[in-house]
Structure 1
């Protein structure tokens, strides 16, 4: 049975991705910063008959928490097949470049960038034991430098000095990581789940949580001939199948 760790999976897209992977036969370690909320999420999935799931308490901004989570998981399984770095924060809106407090920007980067890097590095040894390891970094179209310079883009005026640059940095890290692992069975990709109606955006997005989660699951379950070092998004460049970084 393949194993997957999903950070920030106690609600919304991460929770739905857990559900969909459980339905495909994966054993899910449901990552949650809040143990009580995580246990409630696990209980809900088990009540649906999806029993191959358990909580892994992990705060991606806390090195001690990450180390403890790695030690705990290592006692449960020698192999991790999939890591979905889903935990993220927006930092609130709006975020003017001329006035957003540096503390806000640091807080967003701590979760969206540095947290992803530290979690990935902590669990990489378990992923290396898998014959087909997959890393999925959950990003956003708002992290695309190309789109932010395109006045015709539908979200051109949605700017933010903390959130968007954090996702751009995450995209960059994804490329560097994929390059270093290019001659291995790893598939490392960044996935934009789309503008989805969740607590993250006060349920303002037009997309649905199941559709968003399915995008993560698709990248998590890529076959041996699947792509790596890619940015998956519905916001493709006009007239192409290429997603803009």
Structure 2
């Protein structure tokens, strides 16, 4: 692939915030790989875009080592380097409180929300090292903030589900530690809270639109913000 435009890969991008982010970056002239576990759904998502010429569907299941290897091989075959990786894929698995959550559900949540993020990031580091911008953006949540959970005045203080909240806290930790490790290589590794958004993940109960959320994520992906930050719309969050 020969292109002067920045190249981004977005996981979990066939719907919701991920697809809105693909649309945002594509309309800004970026080349975008749309990661989707189901290639048919990925293609349908691409077909729905107003600017699809620079969007490429990439079959990718971040919990499957074989799928990750095949995705990397496809990128290499395309001659692609990566400027930005956006780890957007996430799940909520029938979550319970710390006193009631089952270990099976915790494992299923962490498989996507942490282990899959680590696996795809590690696999793509060579392509990111060969890129120009060297940015990794992990899509987290304010529900991953320990500082906010410790504040009785936090607007979502009543949300006390163990799997999702703690997996996002773990993703935040991965972000901080990876930022520290890659700092001297010129990487910017940051985490972003897209806000409570109407998506399939929460049964479309969130008040925010996917376009608003995508704009928040895009700001972190497209801007020079340094490394090791926890961003939200209009500012930063406490860890």
TM-score category of the 2 structures, normalised to the smaller one = over 0.9
Q: Unaligned 5+ residue runs, structure 1?
A: none
SS at match of 2:48: helix
Structure 1 segments of 4 or more deviating over 4 A?
none
1:228 corresponds in structure 2 to 227
Deviation at 1:202?
1.1
| TM-score, normalised via structure 2 length | 0.95
Alignment RMSD: 1.3
1:134 corresponds in structure 2 to 135
1:244 corresponds in structure 2 to 238
Does 1:52 pair with 2:54? yes
Deviation at 1:164?
0.3
Aligned 8 A contact 1:78 1:129 in 2: no
> Which one of the candidate residues 25, 30, 37 is aligned to 1:33?
37
Deviation at 1:61?
0.7
Aligned 8 A contact 2:26 2:51 in 1: no
Once the two structures are superposed, the pairs formed by residues 67-82 of structure 1 within 5 Å of their partners are 67-82=69-84
| Alpha-carbon distance in 2 for matches of 1:233, 1:26 | 23
Aligned 8 A contact 1:131 1:185 in 2: no
| Alpha-carbon distance in 2 for matches of 1:52, 1:128 | 22
| Alpha-carbon distance in 2 for matches of 1:98, 1:161 | 9
SS at match of 2:29: coil
SS at match of 1:4: strand
How many aligned residue pairs are there? 235
SS at match of 2:173: helix
SS at match of 2:194: coil
Once the two structures are superposed, the pairs formed by residues 147-186 of structure 1 within 5 Å of their partners are 147-186=148-187
SS at match of 2:151: coil
